[in-house]
Amino acid sequence: MSANPASRWGLRFLGLGYLTMLLLIPLVMIFYKTFEEGIGPPLDAVTSPDGLHALKLSLLMVVIAVPLNTVFGIGCALLLVRHKSKLNPVIDAVINLPFAVSPVVIGLSLYLLYGTNGWFAFLGEEGIKILFSVPGMVLASIFVSLPFVVRETVPVLQEIGTDQEQAGQTLGANAWQTFRKITLPSIRWGVAYGVVLTTARVLGEFGAVTIVSGSINGQTQTLPLFVEKQYANFNSTGAYGASLVLALLALITLFAMNLLKRKEDA
Amino acid sequence: MEAHPANLPAPSQHRAGIRLPGLGVGFGGGMVMLYLSLIVLLPLAAVASEAFSLGLGHFWEQVTSPLAKKSLELTVICSLIVVVVNGFFGTILAWLLVRDKFPGKSIINAVIDLPFALPTIVASLILLTLYGADSPLGIDLAFTRTAIVVALCFVTLPFVVRAVQPLLLEMDREMEAAAASLGAGNFTIFRRIIFPNLLPGLAAGVALAFARALGEFGSVLLFAGGNPDTTVSSVFIRNQVESGNEVGAAAVSVVLLVASLLLLASVSLIQRWAIRHDRGSTDFIVTVENKDVSGGGI
């Protein structure tokens, strides 16, 4: 279909116009609004004790949830691709659940499981606090970001096949050597892409964490919760400042996604 | 990819599998199931158990209470509008990215994924700034149903684009040339050749966008708020938790859960259907699954 110039311009106007109104102007707005009154106020808000604590807590979520889901993701992908079993369709369906379930429902599920009447309420009686503290927020972060590494690793594993692994084993490599020297190097860009998506999701998660955390200033507030609290307290400069930090992280994510996609295709 | 299993005798592949990384298959499988149970299944089971804890009748009462029903209806209607809008514009954007040439195309291609990378609460704040009471464009949509639709359009935009794009990329252009040489106009070519080929991707993208829209929370929160006319189901659930009605929150959650399960099942049916009806499309269906499911969003 070789569109004539008129319809080509029409499509460009519609498509790019929609994108501009929905994505591009909002992106520019974050920068504009943050620095409307100079660099001082947003910087003060982000470097306030509560702001810094929120940033640290967000990073803590990443440091715990991302490695766990990466190890799980690689192991699970190997299992799904290399071992045909009747359980595979079930595992596959469960892995997709966190994408389809509302973040609020995820938060509620943890709230009910670990709450005072929940099945795991005994943990609280033992003095292990899950809800309204960091462990609950970590569980929520792991839940919402669970599928990414599996989803990105499975197709790469399918593509590389097992020829090289078998060659390695014929030459006397043990299972761990085969994995480290052959499998991992061939799937690394797929895994890395999954890790980038997992990190972005953990950093940005709001709905699930808001239910389990209670959003206590300086205690159980990640950066997205800090944004909402600042806005609710009519401190929009603080909200924009923290938003800008998150937006910059999002842009770095986009850049990394593009880079890794190119590496994967190469 | 397809050459592989066929080339290898079954037993040797089996052996390679068993000797693969460190863990025995049984142990590995057990660990995977344990992790999934602890992180995903047990919590979701707790929601279902809570929803029915006072009996089926009470569950039904909660789901059909005026406010719960209103929020579910609002959510479904807004989500339907959103997938129609994004189905239309998403297809156009995919077409521009594959078939058109314009300066800045690679930047546009990268920016499409922004909603997957940007935290939803930031999206909500920015949409409120741009289309709220102090809108620099003079468009005030804050705390209206239109705001819900705009916020949902923002977060679900990449799904359709990323589902349709690979199909367009791999489409055989000779068919279009043949149709054109036989005198078909652009519209006929689109309707009879391009659209039917895009349909599996479009349907899968729309289903995923719909599932995402049904459960969306953060992006709606600040922009559309939670006044009686703009309370979507996720906001309703949050409100019920805050006011201590856990059974009510769980009951509406179960409705959302069942809806997402049905949508996930429909996506995999669409993909299986597409593979069966067009052997040539197998490759890009895999790509579709890989690309757009991965972007489950934030």
Q: What are phi and psi of B217, to 5 degrees?
A: -130, -65
**3-state SS of chain A: helix, strand, coil percent to 5?**
80, 0, 20
Decide if A147 and B4 are in contact by the 8 Å CB cutoff.
no
Interface test with B, best of A96, A102, A158, A196 (most B CBs within 10 A): A102
Average of pLDDT values for A25-33?
89
pLDDT of B18 strictly over 90:
no
pLDDT given at position B6 = 40
Which ranges constitute the DSSP H helices of B132-245? Answer: 145-170, 173-181, 186-189, 195-215, 218-224, 233-242
Q: Could you tell me if B241 and B284 lie in one domain? A: yes
Asked if A78 is an interface residue toward chain B (Cβ–Cβ < 8 A), one would say yes
Short-list B237, B235, B73, CA closest to A109: B237
Q: Could you tell me if B25 and B113 lie in one domain? A: no
Q: Could you tell me if B231 and B159 lie in one domain? A: yes
pLDDT given at position B8 = 38
Asked if A241 is an interface residue toward chain B (Cβ–Cβ < 8 A), one would say no
* Least confident stretch, A17-31, A54-68, B8-22, B49-63: B8-22
pLDDT given at position B190 = 86
The mean of the pLDDT values for chain B is: 85
Q: Could you tell me if B38 and B132 lie in one domain? A: no
Asked which of B51, B66, B93 is the last residue of a domain, the reply is B51
Average of pLDDT values for A29-37?
86
pLDDT of A172 strictly over 50:
yes
Q: Could you tell me if B9 and B144 lie in one domain? A: no
Average of pLDDT values for A158-167?
88
From the list B8, B19, B250, which residue is nearest A175 (CB)?
Answer: B19
pLDDT band at B17 (very low <50, low <70, confident <90, very high): very low
B157/A80 Cα distance (integer angstroms)? 30
Q: How large is the C-alpha radius of gyration of chain B?
A: 23
Average of pLDDT values for A217-230?
92
The mean of the pLDDT values for chain A is: 91
From the list B126, B264, B297, which residue is nearest A93 (CB)?
Answer: B264
In A, residues 11-50, which contact B (CB 8 Å cutoff)? 11-12, 14-16, 18-19, 22-27, 29-30, 33
Decide if B125 and A240 are in contact by the 8 Å CB cutoff.
yes
From the list B47, B111, B117, which residue is nearest A108 (CB)?
Answer: B47
Contacts of B220 in chain A (CB under 8 A): none
Average of pLDDT values for B203-223?
94
The residue of chain A with its CA nearest to that of B86 is A18
* Least confident stretch, A37-41, B35-39, B164-168, B211-215: A37-41
The residue of chain B with its CA nearest to that of A148 is B294
Q: Could you tell me if B124 and B268 lie in one domain? A: yes
pLDDT given at position B81 = 98
Q: What percent of chain A has a predicted confidence (pLDDT) above 90?
A: 61
pLDDT of B7 strictly over 70:
no
For residues B152 and A22, is the Cβ–Cβ distance under 8 A? no
Decide if B250 and A99 are in contact by the 8 Å CB cutoff.
no
State the smallest CA–CA distance between residue B80 and chain A in angstroms: 16
Q: Could you tell me if B12 and B43 lie in one domain? A: yes
- In chain B, the number of structural domains is 2
State the smallest CA–CA distance between residue A102 and chain B in angstroms: 4
pLDDT band at B12 (very low <50, low <70, confident <90, very high): very low
Asked which of B34, B51, B68 is the last residue of a domain, the reply is B51
pLDDT band at A34 (very low <50, low <70, confident <90, very high): confident
Please provide the size of chain B in residues.
298
Average of pLDDT values for B135-155?
94
pLDDT given at position B125 = 95
From the list B113, B153, B215, which residue is nearest A101 (CB)?
Answer: B215
Q: What angle do the packed helices B195-215 and B66-99 form, to 10 degrees?
A: 140
The structure's pTM equals: 0.88
In A, residues 180-239, which contact B (CB 8 Å cutoff)? 183, 193-194, 197, 200-201, 203-207, 210-211, 223-224, 227-228, 231, 239
pLDDT given at position B16 = 44
Decide if A101 and B260 are in contact by the 8 Å CB cutoff.
yes
pLDDT of B49 strictly over 50:
yes
For residues B221 and B121, is the Cβ–Cβ distance under 8 A? yes
Q: Could you tell me if B46 and B158 lie in one domain? A: no
pLDDT given at position A140 = 97
pLDDT band at B177 (very low <50, low <70, confident <90, very high): confident
Residues A181-213: pLDDT tens digits? 989 999 999 999 999 999 999 999 999 999 999
pLDDT of A35 strictly over 90:
no
Contacts of B39 in chain A (CB under 8 A): 139, 142-143, 146
Residues 6+ apart with CB under 8 A from A37: A237
* Least confident stretch, A256-265, B130-139, B194-203: A256-265
Asked if B184 is an interface residue toward chain A (Cβ–Cβ < 8 A), one would say no
From the list B17, B22, B295, which residue is nearest A83 (CB)?
Answer: B17
pLDDT of B237 strictly over 70:
yes
Asked if A177 is an interface residue toward chain B (Cβ–Cβ < 8 A), one would say no
Q: Of residues B212 and B171, which shows the higher confidence score? A: B212
State the smallest CA–CA distance between residue A37 and chain B in angstroms: 15
Q: Could you tell me if B59 and B106 lie in one domain? A: yes
Q: Could you tell me if B175 and B260 lie in one domain? A: yes
Average of pLDDT values for A25-47?
87
From the list A7, A75, A201, which residue is nearest B32 (CB)?
Answer: A75
pLDDT of B285 strictly over 80:
no
Asked if A245 is an interface residue toward chain B (Cβ–Cβ < 8 A), one would say no
Asked if B139 is an interface residue toward chain A (Cβ–Cβ < 8 A), one would say no
* Least confident stretch, A104-113, A212-221, B270-279: B270-279
pLDDT given at position A1 = 53
Q: Could you tell me if B35 and B125 lie in one domain? A: no
Residues 6+ apart with CB under 8 A from B294: A147, A148, A151, A152, A193, A194, A197
The residue of chain B with its CA nearest to that of A169 is B16
Q: Could you tell me if B238 and B132 lie in one domain? A: yes
Residues 6+ apart with CB under 8 A from A167: none
Residues A99-119: pLDDT tens digits? 889 999 999 999 999 988 889
pLDDT of B96 strictly over 80:
yes
Question: Residue B179: which domain range?
Answer: 55-294
Asked if A101 is an interface residue toward chain B (Cβ–Cβ < 8 A), one would say yes
Asked if B135 is an interface residue toward chain A (Cβ–Cβ < 8 A), one would say no
Q: Report how far apart, in Å, the C-alpha atoms of B237 and of each of A144, B47, B60, B71 are.
A: 18, 12, 15, 10
Average of pLDDT values for B126-148?
93
Average of pLDDT values for A73-82?
92
Decide if B250 and A169 are in contact by the 8 Å CB cutoff.
no
Decide if B257 and A257 are in contact by the 8 Å CB cutoff.
no
pLDDT given at position A226 = 95
State the smallest CA–CA distance between residue B130 and chain A in angstroms: 7
From the list A112, A147, A205, which residue is nearest B298 (CB)?
Answer: A205
pLDDT band at A3 (very low <50, low <70, confident <90, very high): low
CATH label of the domain that carries residue B165: 1.10.3720.10
